[in-house]
Structure 1
Amino acid sequence: MFKVGDKVACPPHGVGIIEGTEEREIGGKKILYFRISLVGKNMSILIPEGALETSGIRPILSEEEIEEIFRYLAEVPTNISEKWTVRHRLNIDRLKTGNLKELATVVRNLSYRAKDKELSYSEKRMFEEAFGKLSEEIALSLGEPVKKVKQKIRKILKEVKKP
């Protein structure tokens, strides 16, 4: 179970820190909420205690999981569809999962594709969104500035060569 001070990923909002709990009365029933302050955004969200399991909120990555993500980003992707509609639908579905490996797949695949062809406007936006969320979570987990993490990920992606 989560506690105050935990660092968490909150799909689709990003990452945050559990600041505290609040009790609110709704329809004559008292409900306990967790207040999560979102990193990099001037906002917080309230999640009912009973909805934590189904909300997709999860602990942020460990250092081992981050190293696994970095290795994954360095791999040459396979089976990237040439059809924009298929690629777009797959990437939207990946982003909705909240799974960081799926987020990394979007970043890796779009970065790799951009080496051959310019990305469409929507793919560029999708890349930036996924890249930002991936960078924010890794930065929060490692206690490093987001800018430094973004530079590291860009370096990894740049080194992936076409076979």
Structure 2
Amino acid sequence: MSRATFRTGDRVVLPPYGIGVVSGTCQRPVAGETQSYYQVDFPNTSSRAFVPVSAPQGTGLRAALTTGDMPYLLSRLQVSQELNLPRQWGARHRRVTEILVSGDPYELATLTCELRRWNMERGLPDLDRQAFRRAIHLLEQEVCGLEDQCAQDVQQLLDHAWKETPQ
């Protein structure tokens, strides 16, 4: 498996926290040894994370989506793919939480479509509505700052889905 490397200024995603920016690397002592860490800062917050340079994939750290990824994300939002969420609340909540924590934008897009469909058909219970909003928010973070037309189309779909959700 190839190891991802990040540079200062790279937009990254650290599930489940969302979009951050690599502000550099630093050395920190852990268990008597000095190790290198990426310092990830999260915009508009004072939050910061330190991710081991030697194994960023262990934390789920990945590069944020780019304009080149938008057509596929848009297609996942436009084509309703069955997610087959369990009807039983406990099992459904576990599966939805797994998707949210994974931070996978394409799974989040599928989850968004499925929860939107459920909302249109019969409304969503409170925890499902919160998960729906969280999925939309995580996707909006990925799209934020991307200026191409496809990214704008993604944002419009997300805005539309959000407005359909009862407050």
Which category of TM-score, normalised to the shorter sequence, fits these structures?
Answer: 0.7 to 0.9
Q: Identity of paired residues, percent?
A: 26
Q: RMSD of the alignment, in Å?
A: 2.7
CA deviation after TM superposition for structure 1 residue 74, in Å: 1.1
Structure 1 runs not aligned, ≥5 long: 159-163
Pair 149,77 (structure 1): closer, same or farther in 2 beyond 3 Å: closer
1:100 aligns with 2:102: no
Do the aligned residues in 2 keep the contact of 1:73 with 1:156 (CA within 8 Å)? no
| Residue 112 (structure 1) aligned to one of 117, 123, 142 | 117
State the SS of the aligned residue for 1:133: helix
Aligned ranges 1:1-163 → 2 under 5 Å:
1-78=5-82, 79=84, 81-140=86-145, 142=146, 150-155=155-160
Contact 1:104–1:134 (CA under 8 A) maintained in structure 2: yes
- Residue identity in the other structure for 2:59: S
Counterpart amino acid of 1:123? D
Displacement, 1:122?
0.4
Q: How high is the TM-score relative to the length of structure 2?
A: 0.79
Give the conservation status (yes or no) of the 8 Å contact 2:80–2:110.
no
Q: What is the TM-score with the length of structure 1 in the denominator?
A: 0.81
**Kept after mapping to 1: 8 A contact 2:133/2:162:** no
Residues 71-111 of structure 1: CA deviation (Å, up to 9, x unaligned): 21111333455444443333222223221111111111111
- Paired residue secondary structure (2:9): coil
Please identify, of 111-120 and 148-157, the stretch whose mean Cα deviation from structure 2 is larger.
Answer: 148-157
Alpha-carbon distance in 2 for matches of 1:63, 1:134:
13
The amino acid that maps onto 2:62 is R
Q: Which structure 2 residue ranges, 5 or more long, are not aligned?
A: none
Cα deviation, residue 42, structure 1 = 2.9
Number of equivalent positions: 156
2:57 aligned counterpart, secondary structure: coil
